[in-house]
Structures are given as structure tokens and as C-alpha cells.
Structure 1
Amino acid sequence: MDIDKRKRELVKEFSPALENYSLKTKIWIGCLVAIILVGFYAFLVQLINGHIVTGMRDNVVWGIYIINFIFFVGISYSGAFISGILHFFKTPWKNSVSRIVELITVLSLIIGPIFILLCIGRLDRLHYLFLYPRIQSPITWDIIAIMTDLVGCFIYLYLTFIPDFAILRDNKELKVAKWQKKAYRILALNYQDTTEQRERLHKITRTMSVMIIVLAIVAYTVLAWIFSLTLQPGWNSTIFAPYFIIAGLYSGVGVIIISMYAIRKYFHLERYIRKVHFIAAGIVLLVMSLLFGYFTFSEYFARWFSHKENDVHLLDTLFNRYFWEFIFANYIGVLVPIVILFFKKFRTIKSITFAAIIAVLGLWLNRFLIVVPTLETPYLPIQDTRAEFVNYSATWVEYSLSLTGIAAFCLLFTLLIKFVPIIPMSGIIDYERDQKKYNKRQPKKAVK
């Protein structure tokens, strides 16, 4: 196989996505920028007037900001875990989805912590978290874990990009801006795709894949401890750490499936992102839905069966004020994906994507039901409190900033896949090189 020729063919195949911005792409980017600008205005309103413009009050000190934080960090954990597993075990079809997973991981880790900043009332005191940290506080360890995880995932993502930067750097026919060519040259780090460099890079990347799996588990476990190490009814649970990890995998796999469908449809990548990838991801989603359903049932059944006064009050709040949200999150959001994915004849690309959408929406609502009803049912209730100070209702400011986070995630994802191909070219070449070596090692059949 002529490697140089194959590289030129791949660059020619993927170059239209890098060189041109179609009308649809420009409209898409324009809409995302418009949403971000509205969110920036909402942020200014909150910054000037304070948290009174939100639905958060003395009882419900956390709202959808913290829910979005948990949700995005869960997606990043799932992406890190899946990406690490795919690379460590050298899964044959990882080349088609690995970059999608890696980008989702890093961008979720960037967007998620921003919602914590929106939840803090005194941003001018933010630096105290670093100057005077309380080492016994799980919040301090959560900051350390997330920052370490972000650095590790960023290094891992960059390592996987280096071979493609080198391919784009060496291609003279690629028609991109001068600054982009210069960026390829700098970011490639003089990588020449020699056997020694290739083996060294594979070894480092495989080591990093193990590290980010461990970092992701630690980061999300510490996040779960922020809730479970309190006496608050609904949070004081010994299964929260594994429960959060399973929930993170559940939502992450769902987001990956949705992203695969959108990218496959928009860039016409049916040749690379095939039905077998959706079926494999759907089976993983099925397993996660079963585990998530089991943990959810165990959590609520234990509270219902205990008949503790505080738990009874919490369940009353759930069933009276949030009945339909409870039904969607814990029944529709779990049972619908199971029914669709359990039967083989239902496992089409569209149905698997639909199941993923239902799973993601249900998981977000599940995070909502963990945070808000619990805070509306305090362990030590404040007497003679007005109803509007007890019950939480998000305002347009919170919804605007939540949509801004999603828009920023989509915008960064769009810009990154306009900078480097969404399908790793180096991965395709490595796979074809390995296949060629494998075929050479096979004994030739005797001719009769």
C-alpha cells in the first residue's frame, strides 16, 4: 500500500468539510451565535441584579444550573470511559466514532463547570476556593478532580490529533487559510509518521487512555459524594457513587448516538458510520438502561419502604408536585429505550436514535428530581416561609443560560470539525496497514 498516495486520497475526501462553509453551516453557526448573545445578555442581567432574577431562594439554593453541571460532567465521564476502552482494546471500528467521543468528552468538561460559576453568588470571592481550600470538603476535591480530568482529557485528545495534523500539514493541495496551515505545522510537532514515532505515540496514547478512565471514575465519584455525604433526605445514600457513574454512562451513550446520527446525516458519512455502529451503541445503551432502572428502583423503593418521616415528605413532594416529571424520568425514560432496543427488529438507525433522545431527556429530568424536590423538602424546614421562597420555578434567565451552554457546546464542536476531519485519517491508515500485515501472515491455500 502506497501510504503517501492513500493520505492524499483521504485528504481529498475530507477536504470539502475543511475548506468550505456551506450556506446551511453558516445559518447554523449564526443561530448558535444568536442564542449565545441572548445568553450573554441574561448573564449581564443576573450579574447586575443578583440571583433574585433566578428561581433560586433560601431553600432551593441550587437550580437548573447545578443540574446542567451534573449532566455535562456525566457526559464527559461517559465519553472519557468509552474512548479509553475503545483505544485500549484496539476495537476495530473505533476509527469511525472515536473522534466524536473524544470531542464530546473535552467540550462537556469545558462547558459543565461554567454552570457552577453561574450558580455562585459572589464571583469576586471565587479565588478563595484556591487560596483557602478546606481539604475535608468534597467540593474542594471535586474541583481538583475535574481540573485534573480536564487536563488529562485535553492531552489525550491532542495526542490523537497529532497524526492528522501531520497529514494535513504535508498536503499541498489543501485549500485552507494560511493561519490554518501554520497551525497544522505547529501542532504536528514535527511528526513524520516513522515507525519509531508511531509506536511511541501509540504507547503514550494507550497509557493516557487508562489514566483518563481512572480520572473520569474518580471525578464523578467525588461529585456524587457532594450529595451523599450530607444528611439531606434524598441525598444521604450509599449507592450514589455507582448510581451517578451508571447515569453518566447512560446519558453519555445517548448523546454519542445522537451526535453520530447528526454527523452521519449532515456530512454523508454512511460509508464510515454504519448501522453496525448504531447497533453496538444501542446494545450498550440497553445495558445501561437496565442498570440505571435497577439503581433507580432500589433508591426509591428503599425510601418508600423505610417509612421515615423525612423520606415520606420527600416522596409526597415528588408524587404531588412533580408527578409527570417523575413518570417521564423513571418510567418513560427507562422503559421506552429498553423496549426499543431489546427486540432485534426494532434496532434501526432511526429507532436507536429516538431511544437515545428519550434516554437523554429522561436522565436530565432524573437529575432535576434529585436536586430540586430534595431542596424543597429540607431536613430542617424554615418556619413561616412564603410558598414562592420554598418552591422552585426557573426563570427565563436560567433557561437562556442553559440554552447558551448547549449552543456553545454545539458551536465549539462545529468549529473543531471544520478544523480537523471528524473521521481520523490516521486511524484509517493504521487499520489498513494492520490488515495488510495480517493478510501477509495468513498461510496461502493450497491449489488443488
Structure 2
Amino acid sequence: MSAARTARHERLLASGHTYTSLSDKIGKLALRPNGTLWFVSFACSLLLTLLFAAGVGELLEKGVGIWGINIPVAWAFALINYVWWIAIGMAGTFISAALYLARQDWRSSLNRYAEAMTVFAVAVSGLFPIFHLGRPWFFYWVAFYPNRMSLWPQWRSSLVWDFLAIIAYLLVSIMYWYVGLLPDLATLRDQARTRGEQVFYGLLALGWRGEARHWKRLESLNLVLAGLAVPLVFSVHSMVALDFSEGTLPGWHSTLFPPFFVAGAFFSGFAMALVLGIPLRRWLGLGDIITPKHLDNLSKMMLAAGLFVGYNYAVEFFMAFYSGDPYEIAEMKDRLLGPYAWVFWTVIACNVVAIQFLWSPRVRRNPIALFVISMLVLIGMWYERFILIVNSLFRTYLPSSWGMFYPTLWDLIFLFGSIGLFLLLFTLFVRWLPIVAMYEMRKLLHKLQGAG
């Protein structure tokens, strides 16, 4: 066994865990009574979710005019939130599926909550294109289905493929997450002390008994779903990028967008994994499972993705000025010196400057510093989508159609309400389901003890 791998799990072995103690520690997090901290988190996220529901009700009654969108800025917060949320979901699948295919043992401490992050983020993101339609009750028109009125989707539109990619990704992510939960749900069923909990977890476990054939089918299905999920990570965000690349507006019409969007998705997704993992590690006493080495690995991945994102910023400016296109040059000048220049420089500060501290091993192992940097990255990536959409739309080819975009209170309610909905789903997950894969940790412990 290599020295690096030994160091990676030294705290797990030093803690004296056994198979039973690992199951008891993780299982009690789901079976224990609700604590004050959980209630506070649940109440805050529920309040934001109720605001979000109020915003949806206002939208259905009055239409998209409650937002600050206008002509030419017909896309704004709804699409910004959509791209931001769907990007956050990408890294969860990469942490779980890609590292599973690569046989990286350190993923075992992170994969469960990362998979949950993916499912909830993609579910929240899918709401915003529907809201933006104006008539959201007709969202199914985008799908292919037998239509007697001959209203068929435009198959050359990236929006149709975007819809199909998101549905496929969401279904595969849910299946991959739930299948991995089955052994742990059976463990919680056996640990439960009340009849209600036994029935609840027993139904969710789908009759899992831990037989050899069950384990064989679980491993086979996990391998198949991981193999499907990894290419979907790249296809989904590439399709989102093509929504913009097919436009002929300055700042959009570029072949750079698919790899740029994929890198940005990993960047914000790794940041969210740290923002969620660091408090969970502290509040739930998981320091011997989510170790400083795990934080170090996640921060290295975030740094690598961030450097690629920064490189793309530079290439965008180079290609605009190298092309000699006056409209592309004007759009880039607007980013630097225009009315939304403060947003662009915030992006640079958060996404390029802040991550340079991650070159230091001391910073990468400091939870507080990592949390602050990750929050800055999430803020910076939201602003980056703002620049991409609003800055490219508010001044187009005709000066007579120029106009500023100003968000309304409802724009802000939809933004923070969606964050509340995501956190509400995540707090319920933390309360009722195991946030660490018990069976994978037991398998890892067996491997490490055998190697020792």
C-alpha cells in the first residue's frame, strides 16, 4: 500500500472504527432526534421556499412581466439561475461516478451527499426554463410526443436536445443515487427502534437482504449507471452551451462555449461540494470520515477547473480582438468599462484571484479559508452567467434598441427562493437518509485493514 494512500485514510484507521461502529455512527445521524441546529436550518430554508412558492404564484397570475426583463434583455435571472444550478449538479456526478470508474477510494466519504447535491440542483434548475416560457403549463410541447395538432419540436434547435439531455441526466442521477442507497436503507431498517421507522426504511430498501446475488447485481448496475452518467455530464452542459453558441449575438456565437461551460460546471460544483461538506463535517462530527485530505483533494480539483475557466476568459478577449469584428470588440469593451463592468471585475476577483490562494497546502487544509473561497467562487460563477447573458443582450447591433436591465424584487425572490428550495431538500436528506455511504466505508475499512 502506497504512503500517500496510507496517509489519506490514517485518521479512519486511527479512530479505531469497526464495521459496526461505522454503521452505528452514520446511521444514528438519520435516526437520532432532530437537533436545534437542524430545526434552525430547516426553518430558514422553509421560509425561503415559501417565498419561492409565492413568487411562482405571482408569476402564474401575472406572467413574466413581474421580472425586470425587457427588449433587448429578454433573458435574465431565470436563465442565469438555470445555468448556475445545472452547473452545480455536474460535479456531484463526477465525484461519484468518474472516481468510481477510476477506482479512487477517497470518494467513499463524499459520494453520497455529492450525489444528493446533483439530484436536488438539477431538479431546481429544471424549473427555470419552464417558468421562462410565459405559458409554463405548456412545457411539454418541447418534448417529442404524438401531437394531433402537428405542433412538432424543431429538431435543429438545441433547446430540444437540451430538454432531452436534462431529463436523461436527471433520471440516471436519481437511479444511481437511489441504487447506492439500498444497502444503507436496509441497515437503517435493522437499526430502527420504532415500528414506523422500520416500515419506512423497509419499504425504501426494496427487500434488500444482503445476499451475494444482491451485491453482484448492485455492483453491475452501479458500473453501468456510472458509465452512463459520466458522458451525460459532458453532454448536458455542452447542450446548455449550444443554446448560446447558436445565437448570432456578439459574445455568444463561439465554439469555445461547450468546453468552457463544462469547466465552469466542475468549478462551481466542486465549490458547492466544499460549501456543503465543510459544515457537515463540523456539525455532525465527521472529521474522521471527511478528513483534511478529502478537502485538499476537492480544493485541488476546484483549482484545476478554475485555472481552465480563467484561461477561457483570456481566450475570449484574445479571439474578440484578433477577429477584428467591431461588434465583438465593443462587447468586450463593455465588459471592461461598461455599465456592468463592476460585475465583470467581481467575476475576476472571485473566480481568478481568490483561487490563487489554493496553491498553498495550508490554505487547502484550512476549512474556514476553503469555505470562504468556495463561497466566493459560487458568487463569481453566478455573476459570470449574468455577464454572459445580460452584457451580451443589453447592447446589440442596433443602438436604437439598447436598454439597461434592472432586477426587480421578484427576480431576487426567485434567486434566493431557489437556494432555499435546494437547502430544504438537502436538510430533509440529512435528517432522513445516511449522508455517507456506510457499505462503501465498511468495504474501504476492510481493504485498509487487510493492507495493514
TM-score in terms of structure 2 length: 0.89
Q: Does 1:164 align with 2:177?
A: no
One-letter code aligned to 2:202? R
Cα–Cα, structure 1 residues 17 and 53, in superposed 2: closer, same or farther, change >3 Å?
same
Output the amino acid matched with 1:276: K
Choose 414-423 or 121-130, whichever is displaced more.
121-130
**From 180, 202, 223, the counterpart of 1:206:** 223
Alignment-derived partner of residue 117 in structure 1: 130
1:149-208 C-alpha deviation (Å, 9 max, x unpaired): 10011110011101101111222xx24561x42232122222222333213211210221
3-state SS of the aligned residue for 2:412? helix
Could you tell me which residue of structure 2 aligns to residue 445 of structure 1?
none
Displacement of 1:50 in angstroms is 2.0
**Where does residue 308 of structure 2 map in the other structure?**
291
Question: Which of the numbers 72, 93, 98 marks the counterpart of 2:106?
Answer: 93
The Cα offsets for residues 187-239 of structure 1, whole Å up to 9 and x where unpaired, read as: 22222223332132112102211110111211111111111012111000011
Name whichever of 201-210 and 303-312 sits farther off. Answer: 303-312
Residue 291 of structure 2: which of 250, 268, 274 is its match? Answer: 274
Residue of structure 1 aligned with 2:52, choices 28, 31, 39:
39
For the residue of structure 2 that corresponds to 1:93, the secondary structure is helix
Does residue 367 (structure 1) correspond to residue 391 (structure 2)? The answer is no
> Of the candidates 360, 366, 374, which is equivalent to residue 343 of structure 1?
360
User: Cα distance 1:121–1:136, how it changes in 2: closer, same or farther (>3 A)?
Assistant: same
Secondary structure of the residue aligned to 1:126 is helix
Provide the residue aligned with 1:304 in structure 2.
321
Separation in 2, partners of 1:378, 1:436: 64
- 1:11 aligns with 24
Query: Partner amino acid for 1:295?
Result: N
Matched residue, 2:3: none
CA distance in 2, matches of 1:189, 1:286: 41
Q: Measure the CA separation in 2 of the matches of 1:119 and 1:176.
A: 45
CA contact (8 A) 2:350 2:379 kept: no
User: Matches of 2:251 and 2:342 in 1, distance apart?
Assistant: 19
Write the letter of the residue equivalent to 2:86.
V
Distance 1:346 1:198 in 2: 40
Residues in 2 aligned to 1:416 and 1:128: alpha-carbon distance in whole angstroms: 32
Aligned residues of 1:334 and 1:362 also touching (Cα < 8 A)? no
2:371 paired residue number: 353
Return the letter of the residue paired with 1:170: D
1:229-272 alpha-carbon deviations (Å, 9 max, x no partner)? 12111000011000000000011011101111111122121111
Moved more, 399-408 or 49-58: 49-58
Q: Which amino acid aligns with 1:147?
A: I
Aligned length: 426
Q: For residues 35 and 289 of structure 2, what CA distance do their matches in structure 1 show?
A: 22
Alignment RMSD (CA, Å): 1.9
Letter in 1 for 2:307: L
Structure 2 runs not aligned, ≥5 long: 1-17, 146-151
Match of 1:142 in 2: 162
Alignment of 1:181-220 (within 5 A): 181-220=198-237
> In 2, are the aligned partners of 1:19 and 1:175 still within 8 Å (CA)?
no
Structure-2 separation of matches of 1:50 and 1:233? 29
AA at the equivalent of 2:32: E
Query: Could you tell me which amino acid in structure 2 is paired with residue 409 of structure 1?
Result: F
The equivalent residue for 1:257 is 274
| 5+ long unaligned stretches in structure 1 | 440-448
- CA shift digits 1:388-424 (9 cap, x unpaired): xx21111110110111111111110110121111111
Name the counterpart of 1:24.
37
For 1:49, the equivalent position in structure 2 comes to 62
CA distance in 2, matches of 1:9, 1:303: 55
Could you say what secondary structure the match of 1:216 adopts? helix
What is the TM-score normalised by the length of structure 1?
A: 0.90
2:408 to 383, 395, 409: 395
Q: Distance in 1 between matches of 2:221 and 2:131?
A: 37
Structure 2 equivalent of residue 444 of structure 1: none
Shift of 1:114: 0.6
Identity among equivalent pairs (%): 23
